[in-house]
Structure 1
Amino acid sequence: MLSLMAFRSEIELIKKRVLSERVEILIPKGFEVMSEQQMDFNYAKATSRPSVIYTNSNEASIAFSYTETSADQDMIQMYADNFYKTYTKQYKGAKWFSNGVKEINGRKVGYLELMKPELGHEVYNLVFFTDVEDKLLLCTFTCADRQKPEWETIAKQIMGSFRTNEPQR
């Protein structure tokens, strides 16, 4: 009897510096910065759009939104609570996996992990956020629900690699 096994290639992560070198994070090899034209198209109806998005042909992406919203380490738990309330109201049909605040490389980082409806299908999201130079930085890893098994561990590795290049105060 012959059994067939699904062959899956390992996804290699490489270190990138983003947002004018403010942040260092692992990004899947082969992910490229989304063009301005593609961002304009994808966010045409949005009130705001990410500062930069890395993607592999729209299969999966990680977006960085460096906001003008004030933030510091003491505010991360408050943001985590507020984002959770907002998301549960906005996405009533969402399936929640986890949320809270973790310490990553010496910084408090809030996160939300959920499957939410988007444009007629389910999308896996790992949203994580912290303060960078007194402003709130939101990072969102996204892929289609069917790709969650392949990308979930990678998304968590990306979040776990997050580090700011700010001087210690």
Structure 2
Amino acid sequence: MKKVVLFPATLCLLLFLTAFRPYAEVELIKKRVLSERVEILIPKGFEVMSEQQMDFNYARAQSRPSVIYTNSKEASLAFTYTDNTADQDMIDIYAANFYKTYTKQFKEAKWFGNGIKEVSGRKVGYLELMKPELGHEVYQLIFFTDVEGKLLMCTFTCADRQKPEWETVAKQIMSSFRTNE
């Protein structure tokens, strides 16, 4: 009789624990991007977005990223190597200006953080927010630093509902950033 009572209780406990298990870990692999200028961890399975897809996605944008890694629109990591002059002393100024610009442009954004971090011995500015985009909310972690005298901006993006799965991964990506200077 006790076996009959224990089985349903054990089954309920197992279902409860399965429902609340953490998201599966995302495997990260080391990649060299932007003509080997940068080394960074990128989620396994992310592929470079085709030129045609980038043209379509950024047809109306003022500028488009240099390269985008994605996993079929679930999440993406974009690298924009700008023509803007930059060095380590300018990262604080860029961080303040980007924060000011984003708070004006996205008044309804929810902010999780912004500022400067030291990553691999370099100043890296960052903005972390949830903002409206094309009728829904997206989570973004934008981080930037100087590479060979120019500003490099990296943007990790995913849908708001996927933030719990990708937020830690995005921060691991930012923390893995290294320049090959």
TM-score range, shorter chain: over 0.9
1:41 is aligned, of 50, 53, 56, to 56
Q: Which amino acid aligns with 1:78?
A: I
**Map of 1:126 onto structure 2:** 141
Q: Which amino acid aligns with 2:166?
A: W
1:83 is aligned, of 81, 85, 98, to 98
- For 1:66-145, list aligned pairs within 5 A: 66-145=81-160
- Deviation for aligned residue 1:10: 1.7
**Map of 1:16 onto structure 2:** 31
Q: Which amino acid aligns with 1:40?
A: D
Q: For residues 108-145 of structure 1, what are the alpha-carbon distances to aligned partners after superposition, in whole Å with 9 as ceiling and x for unaligned?
A: 00000000000000000000000000000000000000
Unaligned runs of 5+ in 1: none
**Map of 2:169 onto structure 1:** 154
Q: State the alpha-carbon separation in 2 of the partners of residues 9 and 88 from structure 1.
A: 33
- Deviation for aligned residue 1:9: 2.5
Q: State the alpha-carbon separation in 1 of the partners of residues 123 and 25 from structure 2.
A: 29
**Map of 2:6 onto structure 1:** none
| Higher CA-based Rg | 2
Q: State the alpha-carbon separation in 1 of the partners of residues 69 and 179 from structure 2.
A: 18
Q: Which amino acid aligns with 2:51?
A: E
Unaligned runs of 5+ in 2: 1-8
Q: Which amino acid aligns with 1:54?
A: Y
Q: State the alpha-carbon separation in 1 of the partners of residues 132 and 119 from structure 2.
A: 29
Q: State the alpha-carbon separation in 1 of the partners of residues 138 and 40 from structure 2.
A: 22
Cα RMSD over matched residues? Answer: 0.8
Q: For residues 60-106 of structure 1, what are the alpha-carbon distances to aligned partners after superposition, in whole Å with 9 as ceiling and x for unaligned?
A: 00000000000000000000000000000000000000000010000
What count of residue pairs does the alignment treat as equivalent? 166
Matched, 1:57 2:84: no
**Map of 1:28 onto structure 2:** 43
Q: For residues 13-43 of structure 1, what are the alpha-carbon distances to aligned partners after superposition, in whole Å with 9 as ceiling and x for unaligned?
A: 0000000000000000000000000000000
TM-score, structure 1 normalization = 0.97
Q: Which amino acid aligns with 2:121?
A: G
TM-score, structure 2 normalization = 0.90
